[in-house]
Amino acid sequence: MRSISLQLKGYRLITAEILYHLPDYPKLLQAYIWQAFDLAPRYPALHQFLDFWSHNLDGKLYSVRVAHAEPMALPRLRHAAVSLAIH
């Protein structure tokens, strides 16, 4: 239920693919997938996570790629322009 209430407030499910250098082998990259509900386009939760990463973890960030789902909206009702009857 929490996710539905967040979506109604404008939050979107975002997925971030984070590539980072391995601490022991800096020439190798490792991928980390992070998902959370966040507000687009500023992504405050993602920025908070990346700040935590850069200050507390050893793997240096290489790149971050973000994808998000469209916000939840009420369905639209449209009237049909043509009515057909099949016998």
Report yes or no on 78 lying in a domain.
Answer: no
Residues 64-87: tens digit of each pLDDT: 999 987 776 666 777 767 766 776
Report yes or no on 16 lying in a domain.
Answer: yes
Residues 10-54: tens digit of each pLDDT: 889 999 999 999 999 999 999 999 999 999 889 999 999 999 999
Report yes or no on 25 lying in a domain.
Answer: yes
- Which CATH number characterizes residue 26's domain? 3.10.20
Residue tagged 């939050």 (tokens): 11
Residue 75, pLDDT score: 66
How many structural domains compose the chain?
Answer: 1
Report yes or no on 21 lying in a domain.
Answer: yes
Q: How far is it, in rounded angstroms, from Cα 41 to Cα 12? A: 10
Report yes or no on 73 lying in a domain.
Answer: no
Residue 5, pLDDT score: 83
Report yes or no on 64 lying in a domain.
Answer: yes
In the predicted structure, residue 62 carries a pLDDT above the cut 90:
yes
Report yes or no on 54 lying in a domain.
Answer: yes
Q: Identify each DSSP E strand in 1-87 by its residue range.
A: 12-21, 29-38, 61-68
Report yes or no on 74 lying in a domain.
Answer: no
Its pTM stands at: 0.75
